[in-house]
């Protein structure tokens, strides 16, 4: 139920803001709006105010604003309050305002989220110097070593770890050229990222040069009896280098009832500590809380807005790069998400708190705004393209030509919808088990 409510909240806000943009622009230019609907299909709730009927419809996967004289196949009276009676510039403003409102919403919501402050990994904006290579990973197979500085991935310059994760994450299952610098010399290797998680995020198995930190020790537990202290930096377990919090937890968990040797750094000096995790259920426990090196991040209001604009520009570049990758076969279609996946993410984000939910909302709003600007008939960008082509041709296209263009756009969108729904269903384990070709 929480997942459904979170999904309806996120989608409802995004659709409302999008259609509100069209509505405000239409009213501003004197276009009569007949219907403002959240959802499609049968109308569940409705009321009329002036010339406009406001309603909530049964299928909550979108919405629409119906304007007088909007479609060429309607009987036109020539009244000045009809959509097609307006100039192309005025119609352009009405069409563009829906996507523009989604983009504005993404900036505002992200600014609110950023203004709350956060703890971010210290390595996130540092150069991607390899601190560790996961055994058996694509990076190890390609010969990448600790200390290598990764310069670019498939021609895309990567200045930070965040850039690297994005560049690799969008290219699972593809041979990717990677340029790195080792001992002052530049060389290239080819790596094939493996798709991980249900969203097929590419990973090559390189980790930053960090170590997990003991945040606190529980009294009376094995860690305290062995002399482990809060603030200890865990360098290795049984000689295996520890880089992430998850890696350390897994190393402790699989050694329940067996003595292990921890190499820690305390006050600038290394120490070796022997202890035995207690077996509890199916995992070993030491009685420590572990974290990773982070830095505090609390911008002021103006800085939050600037950072939000910057981050949304970066995300926009990633969206267009992903779309371009789909066209040339560089990006896996498995990374596309549909309504089911969005509902799952909404539920998970709602459980994590309002900041996670609003972050997801900002991301989806930006995607919705940009995708609606694509020059595909049926979408806002497609209608803008048709108007632009009519402007270049200095004549309006015939109804037959427009119908063919809209049909082509509809078919393309249906193909895309089938793809994303199929992806969504394969991410549900019990449904995937019913697909023999995926087993």
Q: 339, 349, 359: which is closest to 116 by C-alpha?
A: 359
Structure tokens belonging to residue 156: 């895309």
The span from the CA of 209 to the CA of 243, in Å, is: 7
Catalytic annotation present for 19: yes
The CA distance from 170 to 202, in Å, is 6
Look at residues 6, 9, 35 and name the one whose alpha carbon lies nearest to residue 22: 35
Distance CA 99, CA 384 (A): 12
**Rg of the chain over CA atoms, in angstroms?**
27
Block residue for tokens 């001992």: 183
Determine phi and psi for 285, rounding to 5 degrees: -130, 135
Check: CB of residue 175 under 8 Å from CB of residue 192. Answer: yes
- Cβ pair 355, 386 in contact under 8 A: no
Residue 189 CA, distance from chain mean position: 28
Strands in 176-182's sheet, in edge-to-edge order, are 156-157, 149-153, 176-182, 185-191
DSSP category for residue 75: P
Residue with tokens 């709006």: 33
Q: Which listed residue (19, 70, 82, 200) is catalytic?
A: 19
d(CA 64, CA 59): 12
Helix, strand, coil fractions of the chain, as percent rounded to 5: 45, 25, 30
- In the 8-state DSSP scheme, what is residue 160? S
With CA atoms as reference, report the closest residue to 163 among 314, 333, 303: 314
Phi then psi for 397, rounded to 5 degrees? -70, 155
Checking 402-407 for CB contacts under 8 A at 24+ apart, the result is: 402/72, 405/377, 406/377, 406/378, 406/382, 407/377
Report in angstroms the alpha-carbon separations of 44 from 53, 149, 277: 13, 59, 59
Active site residues: 19
């Amino acid at each position: 139920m929480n997942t459904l409510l979170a999904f309806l909240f996120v989608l409802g806000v995004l659709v409302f803001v999008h259609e509100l943009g069209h509505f405000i622009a239409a009213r501003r230019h004197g276009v009569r709006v007949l219907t403002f609907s959240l959802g499609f299909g049968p109308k569940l709730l409705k009321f009329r105010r002036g010339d406009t009927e406001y309603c909530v419809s049964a299928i909550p996967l979108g919405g629409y604003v119906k304007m007088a004289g909007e479609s060429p196949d309607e009987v036109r009276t020539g009244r000045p309050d009809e959509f097609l009676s307006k100039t192309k510039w005025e119609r352009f403003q009405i069409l563009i305002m829906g996507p523009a409102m989604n983009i504005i919403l993404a900036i505002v919501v992200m600014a609110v989220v950023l203004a709350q402050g956060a703890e971010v990994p210290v390595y996130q904006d540092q150069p991607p110097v390899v601190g560790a290579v996961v055994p058996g990973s694509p990076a190890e197979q390609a010969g990448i070593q600790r200390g290598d500085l990764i310069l670019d991935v498939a021609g895309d310059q990567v200045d930070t770890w965040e850039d690297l994760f994005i560049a690799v994450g969008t290219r699972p299952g593809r041979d990717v050229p990677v340029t790195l610098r080792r001992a002052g010399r530049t060389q290239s290797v080819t790596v094939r990222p493996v798709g991980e998680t249900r969203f097929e995020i590419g990973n090559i198995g390189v980790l930053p040069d960090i170590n997990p930190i003991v945040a606190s020790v529980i009294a009376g537990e094995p860690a305290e009896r062995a002399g482990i202290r809060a603030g200890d930096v865990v360098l290795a377990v049984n000689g295996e280098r520890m880089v992430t919090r998850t890696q350390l937890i897994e190393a402790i968990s699989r050694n329940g009832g067996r003595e292990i040797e921890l190499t820690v750094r305390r006050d600038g000096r290394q120490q070796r500590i022997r202890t035995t995790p207690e077996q509890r259920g199916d995992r070993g426990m030491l009685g420590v809380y572990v974290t990773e090196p982070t830095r505090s991040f609390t911008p002021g209001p103006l800085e939050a807005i600037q950072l939000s604009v910057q981050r949304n520009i970066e995300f926009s570049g990633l969206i267009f790069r992903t779309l371009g990758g789909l066209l040339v076969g560089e990006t896996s279609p498995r990374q596309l998400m549909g309504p089911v996946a969005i509902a799952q993410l909404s539920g998970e984000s709602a459980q994590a708190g309002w900041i996670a939910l609003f972050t997801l909302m900002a991301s989806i709003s930006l995607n919705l705004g940009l995708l609606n600007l694509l020059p595909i008939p049926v979408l806002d960008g497609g209608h803008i393209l048709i108007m632009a082509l009519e402007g270049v041709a200095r004549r309006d296209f015939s109804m037959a030509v427009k119908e063919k263009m809209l049909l082509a756009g509809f078919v393309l969108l249906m193909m895309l919808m089938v793809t994303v729904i199929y992806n969504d269903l394969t991410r549900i384990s019990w449904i995937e088990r019913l697909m023999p070709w995926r087993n």
